[in-house]
Amino acid sequence: MFSLRPISQKLIIDESLIYDVIIIGAGPAGFTAAIYTARDGWKTLLLDKAAAGGLIATTHMMENYPGFPDGIDGADLMHKFQLQARRFGTQVLEFEGVESIEQVANDEGIDKLLFLVKTANGMILKTKTILIATGSIPKEAGVPGETTFRNHGVSYCTTCDGPIYKDKIAVIVGCGNTGLQESDYLLRYAKSVTFLAHRGYAKAEKIHQERVFNHPKAVCLFNYDLLEIKGDKKVTSILAKNLINSEIKEIPTDAVFIYVGYRPATQFVKGLVDMDERGYIITDEKMKTSVAGIFASGDVRANNPAQAAIAVGDGARAALAMREYLQVS
């Protein structure tokens, strides 16, 4: 996972404290909410199971985020978010995943409940409100060889692993926005990149299609499905099926980058808050979930178009709603 530049040493947490706000997920939504809540004076802790920054920190170039006419590297953008959140007193704890959330009675006799946030490293944290901003994670293609060769030629992040394959052959599975946008970075290094698209066209924005499909190193195979990833100790080729004539084609490659969609990171709150059939959290316009005191923002929400600018707006809305909730408690 691509990491932000380090800012400070690992935070030491006092588990006896009761936080006003615990934010789970250090991406655009989480950091935006933290900026608001910490600036308001609410005791705010932000947790992430990985390095702070979220998926956007693995994006080589953000060109549609407002305020940066020439674009900005995703990791650099999230570094700025983190600096701003810390400036107002947000505590940021990285590599601390959350396993479960429980509701408990408040010993102070206040009507509203407290929440216990249990982490993978054994901490039990208390808070008055929670924001779930865990976003989504890349889906697997689900083909033979994918698990076997993960980190040995199979990757889900060209920004992280692209430079490893300088002057080598690569395949990208998926021609949506993410696949084509991230391939722009890979094409700088690889000798050639073959694109597999399930449909007869690419779903990506026109600007990404024009850059990629006119690139001299790019080969585009439409109406193809990935069947298998082959190799010995590392990837050597893939098998792909032509969906028009059922022909099976073996394509030599040193790497396979998979961009076939995302799934929400919500397993730890399954059964606690209402979700849609795909596992995305259902909220109202104020980012409130079905449980009072728990809010959700960003890509983890149902019917969210997965855009950084929208995640930022979600985070701000959630922070305002949490302020309202805390003020009457």
pLDDT(2) > 90: no
Q: What pLDDT, in 10s, does the model give residues 63-91?
A: 889 999 999 998 999 999 999 999 999 99
Contacts of 275 (CB under 8 A, 6+ apart): 264, 266, 281, 282, 302
Is the same domain home to 25 and 162? no
Q: Looking at the structure, tell me whether residues 171 and 113 fall in a common domain.
A: no
Residue 156: domain span: 140-258
Lowest-confidence pick of 10-19, 191-200, 206-215: 10-19
3-state helix, strand, coil split of the chain in percent (to 5) is 25, 30, 45
Q: Are residues 237 and 251 in the same domain?
A: yes
Residue 2 located in a structural domain: no
For the chain, give the longest Cα–Cα distance. Answer: 70
The domain boundary, picked from 200, 235, 258, lies at 258
252, 280: one domain? no
The predicted-structure confidence for 265-274, as pLDDT tens digits, reads as follows: 999 999 999 9
Listed residues 227, 258, 289: the one ending a domain: 258
Which percentage of the chain shows pLDDT scores above 70?
A: 95
- Note whether residue 9 is domain-resident: no
pLDDT band at 111; cut points 50, 70, 90: low
**Same domain? 77 vs 39:** yes
Look at residue 183 and give its three-state secondary structure: helix
Instruction: Tell me the pLDDT tens digit for each residue of 197-247.
Output: 998 888 888 888 888 888 999 999 999 999 999 999 999 999 999 999 999
Q: In the numeric block, which tokens belong to residue 73?
A: 């590297």
What is the reported pLDDT for 144?
Answer: 96
> What CATH number did the domain enclosing 216 receive?
3.50.50.60
Q: Identify whether 84 is part of a domain.
A: yes
pTM score: 0.84
Q: Poorest-confidence range of 107-121, 137-151, 156-170, 229-243?
A: 107-121
Confidence band for 3, pLDDT divided at 50, 70 and 90? very low
Closest listed residue to residue 28, CA positions, set 318, 248, 310: 310
Reported confidence tier of residue 107, pLDDT bands at 50, 70, 90: low
Question: Which two tokens mark 194?
Answer: 């073959």
Are the C-beta atoms of residues 182 and 73 closer than 8 Å to each other?
A: no
For the chain, the domain total comes to: 2
* 173 plus 210 within the same structural domain: yes
Residue 10 lies in a domain: no
